[in-house]
C-alpha cells in the first residue's frame, strides 16, 4: 500500500512529503473511527509521539506501514491455525 498516495499535499514548501501522520490521516487510511485510532496509539499497538504545545499525536509513516504488515502477518497466522484444526 502506498500511504503517501492517500495523504494530503506535500509540506508547505511543496517538495517534502510529510513524515508524520495525524490520527485523522491514520483513521482515513485504515478506515476506522477516531476512537479506534486513538485506542491503537494508547495500547501501544501503533507507536506514536506527541508534539506541540497541545500534545497532538503523530504517527511516523514507517510505524503505520509496520503496523499494517504485522496485522497481515497475524491474519495469515490466524488462517493457518484455523486450517490446521
Average pLDDT, the chain: 89
pLDDT of residue 10: 59
What number of helices (H) and strands (E) belong to the chain? Answer: 3, 3
Around Cβ 63, how many Cβ atoms within 10 Å? 18
- What would be the CATH architecture of the domain defined by 18-84? Orthogonal Bundle (1.10)
Answer yes or no: pTM beyond 0.95.
no
DSSP code of 30?
H
Rounded CA separation 15/18 (Å): 10
Whether pLDDT at 36 is above 70: yes
Could you tell me which of 68, 47, 66 has the C-alpha nearest to residue 58? Answer: 47
pLDDT-based confidence at residue 16 (cuts at 50, 70, 90): confident
Amino acid at each position: 500500500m502506498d500511504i503517501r498516495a492517500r495523504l494530503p499535499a506535500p509540506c508547505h514548501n511543496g517538495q517534502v512529503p510529510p513524515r508524520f501522520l495525524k490520527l485523522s490521516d491514520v483513521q482515513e487510511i485504515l478506515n476506522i473511527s477516531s476512537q479506534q485510532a486513538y485506542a491503537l496509539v494508547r495500547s501501544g499497538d501503533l507507536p506514536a509521539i506527541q508534539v506541540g504545545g497541545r500534545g497532538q499525536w503523530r504517527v511516523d509513516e514507517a510505524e503505520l506501514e509496520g503496523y499494517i504488515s504485522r496485522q497481515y502477518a497475524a491474519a495469515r497466522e490466524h488462517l493457518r491455525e484455523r486450517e490446521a484444526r
